[in-house]
Structure 1
Amino acid sequence: MDNIYDALRESHEVQRRLCRQLTRIRTYDARAQEIFRELRIELAAHAAAEERFLYAQILLDDMGLKSSRHALSEHHEIDECVEDLAKARGKPEEWLQGVKKLSHEVHHHLKEEERKFFQVSGKILSERRKQVLAKKYRRDLERMRLVVAP
């Protein structure tokens, strides 16, 4: 049976793949816009579901307070990068810089989360709770993908 970390890693891989695709296009065109749209939806849906079904649980425990707050702040930084990139439409130089920055922030966050936050939260949550949270996260992720899509 999978757990919350297995579920989260699936979305992390989607995010990594979309970031790689976006950085390799190098030009602002229709395909870049479509990849950006997919990435924006995945990031927003993932963050919402993750914050509800993992971060909120860990914030309740003193041992997880610092790491949860840090992870939440990184979600906010990623949101700001997405907003900046959306504003760079039609500005090739700003677009390229924005893509690089967003990709860097996403990769940094995912790496740190998988290597640090998962370990801290893994000590807080029981195995059964991890399985229950995986189901809730997956349902909410699918729902949020529809909610945040324009």
Structure 2
Amino acid sequence: MKETIFEALRESHAIQRSLVRKLMLSHPGEHRVEVFTALRIELAAHEAAEERYLYAPILMDDRGLHASRDALADHHKMDEMVDDLQTRDHAGRGWMATVHKLSKELHDHLREEEKIFFQLSGKILTSAQKTGLATKYWRDYRRMHVMLEET
């Protein structure tokens, strides 16, 4: 049986949870910067591919309009936090406070997405779409990872 878009996204979600956990436990220094960079790239690659290959098709169905908009707003909120973290001193007092906010936002978003959005999307998408979107997601996800790692 071929992988579905939901299984593909859960794999990336597990990576995100692991990286944010490592970042929360990190101490100022090179390791913290490496973990933050890995999380930043993972979030950006995942968001771009997810928005293109899950949110966009669901946004086109009236039943998925509100949920898609809500999920896109969550991504925007997390992007702003990541941008803020990137411009500040990783050893500064407020940096970890923002990491804690990002962790909470990320965990809330992933939980809501997996428990509510995936179920709604499962009713909207056909079986063929679910597997086809997984293939497209992984292709775009990998492409974005390469592009972001080079910048």
**Is residue 26 of structure 2 the alignment partner of residue 35 of structure 1?**
no
Q: Could you tell me the TM-score, scaled by structure 1's length?
A: 0.96
Residue 94 of structure 1 deviates from its aligned partner by: 1.3
TM-score by length of 2: 0.96
For the residues of structure 2 that align with 1:148 and 1:90, how far apart are their CA atoms? 20
Alignment check: 8 A CA contact 2:74 2:109 kept: yes
CA–CA distance in structure 2, aligned partners of residues 14 and 89 of structure 1: 25
Aligned to 1:79: 79
How far the C-alpha of 1:145 sits from its partner, in A, is 0.5
2-structure distance, mates of 1:89, 1:12: 27
Stretches of structure 1 lacking an aligned partner (at least 5 in a row)? none
Query: What residue number does 1:67 align with?
Result: 67
Gaps of 5+ in 2: none
> Could you say what the CA RMSD is over the residues aligned between the two structures, in angstroms?
0.9
Q: Deviations over 1:74-132 (max 9, x none)?
A: 00001001011112225521111111111111111111100110011110001111000
Query: Which residue is equivalent to 1:112?
Result: 112
Q: Which runs of 4+ in 1 moved over 6 A?
A: none
